[in-house]
């Protein structure tokens, strides 16, 4: 009901809105288009990147979501973008804000964004935050992923190191390792706390010797 | 004894006849040389015959094996050096037919879906405005393998496959996005940090 009221108001003021994105004109119905255009304008006025909002609306309309659902999704996204902007500051690049919003949505505390930014400096935070979101998507608890990402930043990790961590964790999980344990140990390997030899053998959390159903080590030929 | 005398006499007569010089007619030498010239081909004809005439070639088994190995090595080296350089994919299996280099700040990503029953597959995501008409996947020769190569900017991207224009499928080889705003999950991919 609240969304319907908002839509009615937005339709009334739609002609006064700034020029709309041609993609919205082409693919959204008039009701949804007016609501999205209003939110895009608000985001622009607040110094937020608008491309993710338009993109989310296009995703919703391609998936044939209802107007209500599209508006709710882009509203939630706007809130996350605002939280990321607040955490990273007004001069942060749009790419960092977008990555930050995704990380917040995935469970990162806004403070961690600022901490990583402070440690990484000019190296940027979009790749570390993207890897954070990816780790959470793979099943690593958000708190563990936050600790891992920050730990790597403090160890001077490069973007390539983050990408390597992501690949290693994905490989470990594929081999049956618990996601959280894999991420924690791989991060320690990346920063040199654990010797390179630790990367050999089974992935973290997987027994070195296969066990039979009774729990005894299986005999090998 | 009598027979021996007769034989000696006969041999003496034959030897005497053979010692008489043979008288050839004056044109004999000319006829012989003309016949020889006719039978001897010219230089080019000899060269052509050298190349085209079959002849037995005798090599030891060891030499034959060495020659075969050399030819095989040349073929392999030639095939590798003639193959177009492909951008390294960061997801999926092997880049197939990706001859277009990625833009600066981007990486070439290969999207692969195995869908033997599909008649069309497209990838949609935040890199193509979620437009199913923008990035169709190409069917490989056999096995229902569909693929497309896309240049993506660094960062995280969400995407999904659209099969036959209506069925949404996340990538079975990639993690799912944490959030699902519209009731059909997306997959996520992280681009960037490629070590060179």
Q: How many CB pairs under 8 A join A and B?
A: 96
Task: List the single residue in B158, B168, B181 with the smallest CB-CB distance to A73.
Answer: B181
pTM: 0.64
Residue B79 has pLDDT above 80, yes or no: no
Residue B130 has pLDDT above 50, yes or no: yes
Chain A interface includes B167 (CB < 8 A): no
Which of B89, B122, B193, B196 is most worth mutating to test chain A (most A CB atoms within 10 A of its CB)?
A: B193
Q: What is residue A216's predicted lDDT score, i.e. its pLDDT?
A: 40
Higher pLDDT, B76 or B191: B191
With cut-offs at 50, 70 and 90, classify the pLDDT of residue B78: low
Report the C-alpha gap between A50 and A181 in whole angstroms: 37
- Decide if the complex's ipTM is over 0.90: no
Residue B90 has pLDDT above 50, yes or no: no
Which of B92, B171, B178 is most worth mutating to test chain A (most A CB atoms within 10 A of its CB)?
A: B178
Q: Where are the domains of chain A?
A: 1-91, 109-196
Chain A interface includes B126 (CB < 8 A): yes
Chain A interface includes B133 (CB < 8 A): no
Task: List the single residue in A60, A62, A163 with the smallest CB-CB distance to B192.
Answer: A163
* Min Cα separation A220/chain B (Å): 32
Chain B interface includes A56 (CB < 8 A): yes
- The first and second tokens of residue A192, run together, are 């040199």
Chain A interface includes B166 (CB < 8 A): no
Query: Which chain A residue shows the shortest CA-CA distance from B127?
Result: A55
Q: Where are the domains of chain B?
A: 106-191
Q: What is residue A6's predicted lDDT score, i.e. its pLDDT?
A: 53
Tens of pLDDT, residue by residue over A72-89, are: 999 999 999 999 999 999
- State whether B154 and A126 contact (CB < 8 Å): yes
* Diameter of chain A measured on Cα atoms: 79
Average pLDDT over residues B154-160: 89
Where b means 16+ CB within 10 Å and e means fewer, A25-47 reads: eebbeebbbbbbbbbbeebeeee
Higher pLDDT, B42 or A62: A62
Report the C-alpha gap between B185 and A151 in whole angstroms: 30
Low-confidence ranges of chain A (pLDDT < 50): 10, 13-18, 197-201, 207-221
For residue A199, the 8-state DSSP code is G
Pick the CATH number of B106-191 from 1.25.40.10, 2.60.40.420, 1.10.150.110, 2.60.40.10: 2.60.40.10
Question: Alpha helix locations (H) across chain A?
Answer: 2-13, 22-27, 30-45, 51-62, 67-88, 94-106, 110-120, 126-137, 142-154, 159-174, 179-190
């Amino acid at each position: 009901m609240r969304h319907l009221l908002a839509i009615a108001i937005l339709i009334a003021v739609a002609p006064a809105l700034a020029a709309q994105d041609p993609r919205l004109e082409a693919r959204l119905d008039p009701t949804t288009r007016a609501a999205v255009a209003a939110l895009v304008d608000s985001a622009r006025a607040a110094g937020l990147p608008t491309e993710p909002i338009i993109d989310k609306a296009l995703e919703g309309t391609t998936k044939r979501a209802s107007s209500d659902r599209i508006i709710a999704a882009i509203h939630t996204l706007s809130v996350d973008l605002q939280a990321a902007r607040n955490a990273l500051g007004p001069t942060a690049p749009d790419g960092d804000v977008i990555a930050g919003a995704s990380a917040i949505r995935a469970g990162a505390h806004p403070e961690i964004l600022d901490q990583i930014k402070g440690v990484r400096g000019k190296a940027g935070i979009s790749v570390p935050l993207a890897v954070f979101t990816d780790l959470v998507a793979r099943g690593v608890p958000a708190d563990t992923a936050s600790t891992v990402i920050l730990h790597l930043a403090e160890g001077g990790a490069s973007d390539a190191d983050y990408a390597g961590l992501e690949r290693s964790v994905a490989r470990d999980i594929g081999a049956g390792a618990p996601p959280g344990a894999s991420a924690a140990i791989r991060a320690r390997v990346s920063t040199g706390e654990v010797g390179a030899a630790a990367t050999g053998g089974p992935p973290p959390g997987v027994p070195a010797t296969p066990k039979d159903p009774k729990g005894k080590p299986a005999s090998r030929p | 004894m009598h027979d021996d005398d007769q034989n000696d006499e006969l041999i003496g007569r034959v030897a005497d006849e053979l010692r008489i010089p043979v008288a050839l007619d004056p044109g004999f030498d000319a006829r012989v040389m003309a016949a020889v010239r006719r039978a001897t081909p010219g230089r080019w004809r000899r060269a052509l015959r050298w190349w085209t005439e079959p002849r037995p070639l005798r090599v030891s088994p060891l030499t034959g094996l060495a020659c075969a190995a050399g030819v095989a090595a040349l073929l392999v080296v030639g095939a590798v050096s003639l193959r177009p350089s492909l951008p390294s994919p960061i997801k999926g299996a092997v880049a197939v037919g990706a001859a277009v280099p990625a833009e600066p700040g981007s990486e070439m990503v290969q999207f692969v879906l195995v869908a033997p029953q599909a008649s069309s597959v497209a990838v949609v995501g935040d890199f193509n405005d979620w437009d199913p008409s923008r990035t169709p996947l190409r069917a490989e020769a056999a096995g229902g393998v569909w693929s497309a190569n896309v240049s993506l900017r660094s960062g995280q991207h969400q995407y999904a496959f659209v099969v036959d224009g209506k069925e949404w499928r996340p990538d079975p080889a990639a993690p799912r996005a944490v959030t699902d705003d519209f009731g059909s999950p997306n997959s996520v991919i992280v681009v960037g940090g490629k070590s060179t």
